[in-house]
Chain A
Amino acid sequence: MKSNLHIVLLGLILSVSLVNADELEQNEFEEDLLDLYGDEVTISIATGTEQPISQAPAVASVITAREIAAMGAHDLDEVLETVPGLHVARSTLGYNPIYTFRGVYTATNPQVLMLVNGISINNLFVGDRSQVWGGFPVESISRIEVIRGPGSALYGADAFAGVINVVTKSAQEINGTEAGARIGSFNTQEAWFLHGSKFKGVDFAFMLEAKSSSGHREKIVSDVQTLSDQALSTSASLAPAATTNGRDNLDVRLDIEKQYWQFRAGLQRRRNAEIGFGVGSALDTHGEYESDRWNADLTYHNPEFATDWDMQAQLSFLNTSAEVGEDVFVLPPGAVFMDQVFPDGVIGNPEVWERHWRMSLTALYSGIDKHTVRIGGGYNHSEIYKVKESNNFSGQLVDISDTASVFLPEDERKNQFIFVQDIWKFARDWTLTAGIRYDDYNDFGDTWNPRAALVWSATHDTTIKFLYGQAFRAPSFAEFRNQNNPVALGNDELKPEQMQTFEMALDSRKFNDMRLGLNIFHYEWKNIIDFISDGSGSLQAHNQGKQTGYGAELELDWQLTNALVLHANYAFQDSEDQATGEDAGNAPHHQIHASIDWQLHPQWTLRPAVNFIIDRDRPPADNRDELDDYMLIDLTLASQSYSDQWELKLGVKNLFDVRAEEPTDASFNISNDLPLAGRYVFTEINFNSK
């Protein structure tokens, strides 16, 4: 029997001015450890507290848990906004994120694939992550990998404008207990608890994150109903009034791992999720949504399955819902709709439940000299298995679920796929990666998507890549099957949207302590699905649009001194709607993000950050004035205890309370855009048992 007992002598940490011989020796020892490991990040990798990142020949950004914590981010979207070439715009519906990669902007944003641990969480309904998104907390995130440009050759549908892969923490990374709490403006409270340990050879991780917030409330002067009021001499609009953005979130994850086997399960629950600016940009202070997103996967991964074979098999499940908690008002009381006055308002409560089963097999073969071949295939079965709707369009609130009047029929989609990719080191310093994926769908046919990446290690400190890729975006069920909605009728003749991208990327570490990255891209996006007039006064989905764009991204990481690190990036894009020859609109032409990690003292860090959104045109046929540029400044101050077990953080986002706005839908033609949150002040405390 062993007994272990710690006696911890806290000593006199306060006497920081004391520098004696022992302290110098200790500092020297720490420097010796740095000599051994290189830097603090490498220590984390070497000691297993941070996982090395898989290699992907693409223009990719990787943000680790350490960096997420340093930036004082509370939500995934705050992290993504720092990625060059990616701007997180907002939908009027619940402030849902619109991940705008390199000028590819649409209201429902199905052109971006989001993966959690490599598994898609994109929905069938409108192709986004959820109509009741409610954010994604970051405490359980190990790292976020963002690929700009197409990735369909590996990931299949919707890896179109970009791919976001969120990797959650493993038991080994947590290795003990992490817990914390945060309070902030807008009556926001958050708490989290993570535990990871090993028991009889099995790694267990449990992660729980909870949030409750009244949300920021920003004043809207004019909404869709204001325009209607002006035309019909009514006074129904709630404007001027504030947007609503409150919600209660619960995120729970479980991760069990033994040797080659891993089982993960999770729930993302959203309750009392308020509407934002309203379903159709008419203020609604009453409506609330709910969502439950259940996920599970069983993964077998054996890197040494046989000589030269690395094998992975995966079965995964996702069940997700978009439900109505409180009646949703499409238009407020007193509004006129279909030539009829609605004294109680126009209520529309669409609800959708969907589930996805996916299975895949991937093998990596390294038995051929100079080649690494990845082959795989799989089968996905997705279905909208329940659709409910109640509305009062007839004057009475009635449940029309399971009738011909419902907005969307229940249906399924089957997809089978195979892919092959070869990494060929064909000459010294030259690697060619070439791959192709074939996808077959039961509802819209099949598609081939190739990619190629030529990587040249030009010098010891400079790498140049040339990339080409094609991608497709599967029509969403709303685009395919919507019915009974005269302004958004589905079309089962739709083809997938297509994307073709050329890129060149340069990465240089020419200057000591500095990394410089430059990417140049050109894309062509065609078969864009849009709702256009079918001649009878209705709008129906058609493959209509075409957009081209080009641009560049510049990235700089510079260790100015031992205590000062600068991260800065600049992105430029110019995208054109080919039908009109005009700017495609909504996305910023220029974006600058910069932050400084300033180690004030071994236990104190200060991080100022600035995000500058510049020059956003309106899309064609939107004659409103151009959107104003905005610059937001954030500050985060963190103090850690000597052993790093405790951390106190104070921060402020949008320090100067700048009124920043994202575009509202052009078709509503309202004067108001969507205001982002004003100044947000927070404090948090963290505990880490490591």
Chain B
Amino acid sequence: MKHHFLQLGILSLCVSALLLALASPAHSQGKVAIIMPEVRAPYKVIFDDIYDGIVENLNQQSISLIINKEVKSSTVDGWIANMGISAIIALGPAAHKSVSKITTELPVVSGAMMTATPDDQDSLKVALSPEPAELFDQLSTLNDNISRVAVVYNPDRYQWLINLAQKKALSYGIDLLTYKASNVKQSAKIYDQLLADEKPQSLAIWLLQDRTIVDSKVVLPFILERSWQRSIMVFSSSLGHVKKGVLFCMYPDNRAHGKQLAQIIDNYYQLPARVHKDPMPTTDLLMAINSRTAAHLGLDLNKSDLRKIDVVFPLTN
């Protein structure tokens, strides 16, 4: 029964693709394929915004394909061949995976990646992780006494981001202290030591959006409590952390993320040759801040050089 449905799904995809190819053969040349996963609400709106950002800024025709778990790479491959695609934008790991399995000479960029890890596919990858330099920039603006930033990370997921952050931290005069952990038990021990730091006024802790390191039941409540008591600045790459009490975070402007992807594809052949295959972080970011925590730390949120704050927590006080 399952296979029957599967075949039916593939057949309908092929028929749709064929009909479409027959219906508009003259206009299919040079289209950019936007391949997106079928996601449920409320995540769908994230992809809708990225999609809107792409099509509003792309200087080429585009055609989109929404895939789900039943669609095989070979099917996508056939669709790309039949549609006369000139470049591919894949959104999310499922779309990235479906594209990475096919052999194509076409320019490919994968966006909306989360814990993007380098792979053999020669595609550009843009993760939803915020550009560390932007985080350090805001950190320095909020408190210029910070000289050390500690981060605990899972190397399987975020080594690429930490490599990048190491380079960027130097230009802000920040000593980035990195600690590897692969589970909550390990990270809890490290945070326990970090939060007992003897010079809390010069230390900030950077939390990654990684539940294998910072879970919401044990580690995050512990960090929030101890950092409040010792007035240690904690910032994050997760909006959810700020809602719970972390000082600030930067998170992707999804429409701008789409724009970033469109610009990469439009200028693909002018891009400098890539020296490594690490993903790129998102550079167009929004900012959320927890005003209650800021007040506790004695920070001034009215500073003119502080960037626009997009969301202020707590939502009600």
Contacts and interface: CB of A to CB of B under 8 A. Distances in A.
Contact of B296 (A35, A42, A52, A457): A457
Interface string A359-373: 000000011010000
Given A3-B61, A4-B64, A46-B251, A33 B295 contact: no
A3 B71 contact: no
Given A43-B43, A308-B302, A429-B296, 20 more contacts: A2-B62, A3-B61, A3-B63, A7-B13, A7-B66, A8-B66, A9-B12, A9-B65, A12-B5, A18-B69, A26-B37, A29-B37, A34-B240, A36-B209, A42-B240, A47-B45, A52-B315, A56-B316, A459-B228, A509-B244
B68 to A, nearest CB: 4
B40 A9 contact: no
Interface of B: 2, 5-6, 9, 12-13, 16-17, 20, 27, 31, 37-46, 48-49, 55, 58, 60-71, 92-94, 97, 114-115, 128, 209-211, 216-217, 221, 224-225, 227-229, 237-245, 251-252, 254, 286, 288, 292-293, 295-296, 298, 300, 302, 304, 311-312, 315-317
Nearest to A18: B2
Interface in A17-52: 18, 20, 22-23, 25-26, 29-40, 42-47, 49, 52
Contact of A40 (B13, B42, B238): B42
A343 to B, nearest CB: 60
A15 B8 CA distance: 13
Contacts of A536: none
A59 to B, nearest CB: 10
Contact of B114 (A20, A36, A55, A425): A36
A60 B315 CA distance: 11
A38 B225 contact: no
B210 A35 contact: yes
A200 interface: no
What are the 7 closest A-B residue pairs judged by CB atoms, nearest first? A38-B240, A644-B41, A460-B228, A11-B68, A32-B114, A35-B209, A22-B69
Contacts of B302: 308, 366-367
Contacts of B292: 457, 463
A640 B67 contact: no
Interface residues of A, number: 71
Nearest to A49: B45
A36 B316 CA distance: 21
A317 to B, nearest CB: 30
A58 to B, nearest CB: 9
A57 interface: yes
A5 interface: yes
A466 B139 CA distance: 33
B295 A15 contact: no
A44 B295 CA distance: 26
Nearest to A33: B43
A594 interface: no
Contacts of A509: 244
Contacts of A460: 224-225, 227-229, 245, 293, 296
Given A6-B66, A42-B243, A57-B317, A640 B224 contact: no
B296 A428 contact: yes
Contacts of B64: 4-7
A432 to B, nearest CB: 12
A488 B300 CA distance: 57
A30 B39 contact: yes
B173 to A, nearest CB: 26
Contact of B38 (A9, A49, A367): A9
